[in-house]
Chain A
Amino acid sequence: MNKKHIFLLILFLISTLSFSQNKYITKTGNVDFEASVSSFEEVKAINNSTTAIVNVDNGDFAALILVKGFRFKNALMEEHFNENYAESDTYPKATFKGKIKDLNVSTLNTTSIFKADGTLTFHGKSKSLNDIAFKINNVDGLITITGTFDIKVSDFDIDIPKIVSDKVAETVNVSFDFTLNKK
Chain B
Amino acid sequence: MHTKTIKRLLFILVVIIIGITIGYNYLYQDHRNIEVEKPDFKVSAKAITDSFINQPEISETKYLNKTIEISGIVTEFNKNDVTVDNTVFCQFNTDINYALNEKIKIKGRLIGYDDLLEIIKLDQCISITD
Contact = CB atoms under 8 A, between A and B. Distances in A.
Contacts, number: 62
A75 B29 contact: yes
A25 B60 CA distance: 24
Contacts of A78: 31
A5 to B, nearest CB: 32
A91 to B, nearest CB: 11
A67 B30 CA distance: 20
Contacts of A74: 27-28
Contacts of B111: 49, 66, 68-69
A51 B27 contact: no
Contacts of B116: 51, 53, 62, 64
Given A28-B81, A69-B111, A76 B121 contact: no
Contacts of A75: 28-32
A93 B26 contact: no
Interface string A43-72: 000001101010000000010101111000
Interface of B: 26-32, 60-61, 64-65, 80-81, 89, 91, 109, 111-117, 119, 121, 123
Given A48-B91, A88-B64, A92-B60, 10 more contacts: A27-B89, A28-B91, A62-B116, A66-B111, A68-B111, A74-B28, A76-B26, A76-B28, A92-B64, A93-B112
23 contacts: A25-B117, A27-B81, A27-B121, A28-B81, A28-B91, A48-B91, A49-B91, A51-B117, A53-B117, A62-B116, A64-B115, A64-B116, A67-B112, A69-B111, A69-B112, A69-B121, A74-B27, A74-B28, A75-B30, A82-B65, A89-B64, A89-B65, A92-B60
